[in-house]
Amino acid sequence: MRLADSILTQVHTGHRKLTERTWSKGSGDRRTRTWPEAAEKSQLRGVTSVCNICGWRGRGFEGVKHSESALCPVCGSISRDRFLYWCWTQRTAYDPRAAVLETSPRMGQLYRDRMAERVDYTASDYDESAHKAVIKLDLQDMALPDASVDVVLTPHVLEHVPDTGRALSELFRVLKPGGHVFLQIPLPQARTMVPTEPEYHGDWTLVYFRFGWDLADVIRSHGFACDTLVTSELRDAAAHGHCWVHDGPDCDVDDLVAGADPAAMTVIADAAQAERHGFQPGYQFVTFDLHKPR
């Protein structure tokens, strides 16, 4: 056993040093390169879970299978963070010069430093009451030049914006032709509605809209092409009428699945990828890819 442990330690050390050299070289798609910090803390045997943001590998994320859980012990991502990042890396080619704006990112300074080494990265927030950022930005009135951003990553923000139309118009204005907005929001039922009573999420920001599948048509009405990105689990459930057991008033899963059109979905992660990266359960992972025509 001592010999086996010694060999494993040497392999782990070699893996970490190789990761450090690969990162420092900066070649290839740096969005998918493992962070040196992740290599240091990764396991090499019995791996069941991999963080697609930092590259950590281990025997399961911390917490449960839920969009707000399944925590990565290195970068601090939860599963919805990883799905948004997955959509970006799967749907766009890598360009280290790309201007990438992320609105109200959850993760801390290490994540932002690594992002800045990968692309021309800027983090924004509306009032910095819950998330610290580089710039303050109101999606309804973005203090950015026309056609100045290549990619916008916006996780669980639009539902907290009073005027959806103004926000979409502003996103269209600041996006370069050919650019993408990866818009992630909770989808608690099939059609968009206004909360019947005051509703807040974990950071105590007011929810103005509970969006549904019809948001895609609203997006298209503002000039974007739009694809609805999902896991194969959700597409298959919609196609075959399967559903999940969900307790609580925050989501009507039966209505969401019954009102879904599997033909309108674009599968971005298969079952094995969803299991490996923590994109489960499938109904909690819907992201819209807003593409500005060239």
Which of 22-36, 136-150, 250-264 shows the lowest per-residue confidence on average (mean pLDDT)? 22-36
**3-class DSSP assignment, residue 94:** coil
The tens digit of pLDDT for each residue in 193-237 reads 999 888 888 767 899 999 999 999 999 999 999 999 999 999 999
Superfamily of domain 65-291, CATH level 4:
Vaccinia Virus protein VP39 (3.40.50.150)
Residues above pLDDT 90, as percent of the chain: 77
pLDDT for 136-189, tens place per residue? 999 999 999 999 999 999 999 999 999 999 999 999 999 999 999 999 999 999
String of DSSP letters for 106-162: -S-HHHHHHHHHHSEEEEEESSSSS---SEE-BTTB--S-TT-EEEEEEES-GGG-S
pLDDT of residue 6: 55
pTM of the full structure:
0.93
- Give residue 12's pLDDT band: very low, low, confident or very high (50, 70, 90): low
pLDDT of 80 over the 70 cut? yes
Nearest alpha-carbon partner for 191 in 282, 252, 242? 252
Q: Residues 38-61: pLDDT tens digits?
A: 998 998 788 999 999 999 999 999
- Per-domain residue ranges for the chain? 65-291
